[in-house]
Amino acid sequence: MSDPITITPEEAAAIRSLKRLAKKWPNSLKLFSWSGSLHVIKRNSNDIDASIATISNIPSDGGDPDESPSAGVAHSKEDDKFWIDTEPEIVWP
Protein backbone atom coordinates (compact mmCIF):
# COMPACT_ATOMS: atom_id res chain seq x y z
CA MET A 1 0.00 0.00 0.00
CA SER A 2 1.23 3.47 -0.81
CA ASP A 3 1.38 6.47 1.49
CA PRO A 4 -1.91 8.32 2.10
CA ILE A 5 -2.71 11.09 -0.35
CA THR A 6 -3.80 14.38 1.18
CA ILE A 7 -6.29 16.34 -0.90
CA THR A 8 -6.13 20.13 -0.60
CA PRO A 9 -9.34 22.20 -0.35
CA GLU A 10 -8.64 23.52 -3.89
CA GLU A 11 -8.31 19.97 -5.24
CA ALA A 12 -11.48 18.87 -3.43
CA ALA A 13 -13.37 21.81 -4.97
CA ALA A 14 -12.09 20.90 -8.45
CA ILE A 15 -13.20 17.28 -8.01
CA ARG A 16 -16.66 18.39 -6.82
CA SER A 17 -16.90 20.72 -9.82
CA LEU A 18 -16.07 17.89 -12.25
CA LYS A 19 -18.66 15.63 -10.60
CA ARG A 20 -21.32 18.36 -10.99
CA LEU A 21 -20.34 18.82 -14.63
CA ALA A 22 -20.57 15.05 -15.24
CA LYS A 23 -24.22 15.08 -14.12
CA LYS A 24 -25.17 17.47 -16.93
CA TRP A 25 -22.63 16.43 -19.59
CA PRO A 26 -24.45 15.66 -22.88
CA ASN A 27 -24.12 12.12 -24.23
CA SER A 28 -23.37 13.62 -27.65
CA LEU A 29 -19.95 14.80 -26.41
CA LYS A 30 -16.99 12.86 -25.12
CA LEU A 31 -13.56 13.78 -23.77
CA PHE A 32 -10.39 12.45 -25.33
CA SER A 33 -6.88 12.95 -23.99
CA TRP A 34 -4.47 13.68 -26.82
CA SER A 35 -0.89 14.86 -26.39
CA GLY A 36 -1.53 16.04 -22.84
CA SER A 37 -4.61 18.09 -23.71
CA LEU A 38 -8.28 17.24 -23.34
CA HIS A 39 -10.27 17.37 -26.56
CA VAL A 40 -14.05 17.63 -26.68
CA ILE A 41 -15.22 15.21 -29.36
CA LYS A 42 -18.51 15.16 -31.25
CA ARG A 43 -19.50 12.77 -34.02
CA ASN A 44 -20.36 14.58 -37.27
CA SER A 45 -23.10 13.73 -39.77
CA ASN A 46 -20.70 11.42 -41.64
CA ASP A 47 -20.30 9.34 -38.46
CA ILE A 48 -16.74 10.58 -37.91
CA ASP A 49 -15.51 11.89 -34.56
CA ALA A 50 -14.36 15.51 -34.68
CA SER A 51 -12.41 17.51 -32.10
CA ILE A 52 -14.56 20.59 -31.52
CA ALA A 53 -12.67 22.13 -28.60
CA THR A 54 -9.34 21.74 -26.81
CA ILE A 55 -8.80 22.23 -23.08
CA SER A 56 -5.08 22.52 -22.52
CA ASN A 57 -4.90 23.80 -18.94
CA ILE A 58 -5.98 20.51 -17.32
CA PRO A 59 -3.09 18.01 -17.38
CA SER A 60 -4.23 14.65 -18.74
CA ASP A 61 -2.85 11.29 -19.76
CA GLY A 62 -4.63 9.15 -22.33
CA GLY A 63 -5.26 5.47 -22.46
CA ASP A 64 -6.09 2.79 -19.97
CA PRO A 65 -3.26 1.15 -18.07
CA ASP A 66 -2.91 -2.58 -18.53
CA GLU A 67 -5.10 -4.28 -15.97
CA SER A 68 -3.47 -6.52 -13.42
CA PRO A 69 -5.40 -9.14 -11.45
CA SER A 70 -3.91 -7.84 -8.21
CA ALA A 71 -5.46 -4.92 -6.31
CA GLY A 72 -6.35 -2.94 -9.41
CA VAL A 73 -2.83 -1.71 -10.16
CA ALA A 74 -1.35 -1.41 -13.64
CA HIS A 75 2.02 -2.92 -12.72
CA SER A 76 3.97 -3.39 -9.55
CA LYS A 77 6.37 -0.61 -8.58
CA GLU A 78 9.20 -3.11 -8.90
CA ASP A 79 8.47 -3.55 -12.63
CA ASP A 80 9.82 -0.01 -13.13
CA LYS A 81 6.89 0.64 -15.45
CA PHE A 82 3.73 2.68 -15.37
CA TRP A 83 2.05 2.18 -11.99
CA ILE A 84 -1.19 3.56 -10.55
CA ASP A 85 -2.65 2.82 -7.16
CA THR A 86 -6.37 2.65 -7.90
CA GLU A 87 -7.37 2.29 -4.26
CA PRO A 88 -5.21 4.78 -2.33
CA GLU A 89 -5.98 5.96 1.16
CA ILE A 90 -7.23 9.53 0.68
CA VAL A 91 -7.29 12.23 3.35
CA TRP A 92 -9.98 14.80 2.47
CA PRO A 93 -10.06 18.32 3.95
* Tens digits of pLDDT across the chain (93 residues): 568 889 999 999 999 999 999 999 999 999 988 888 889 999 988 888 999 999 989 888 776 555 544 444 444 555 545 556 666 788 888
Q: What local confidence, expressed as pLDDT, does residue 92 receive?
A: 84
Q: What's the confidence (pLDDT) of residue 35?
A: 82
Query: pTM for the whole thing?
Result: 0.67
Q: What is the Cα–Cα distance from 23 to 52, expressed in whole angstroms?
A: 21
CA dist., res. 49 & res. 18, Å (int): 23
| pLDDT value at residue 37 | 87
Counted domains in the chain: 1
Phi, psi for 34 (deg, rounded to 5)? -145, 115
**H or E element: which one contains 12?**
helix 9-24
Q: Mapped to the 3 state alphabet, what secondary structure does 53-68 carry?
A: EEECCCCCCCCCCCCC
Note down the domain range covering 13: 5-91
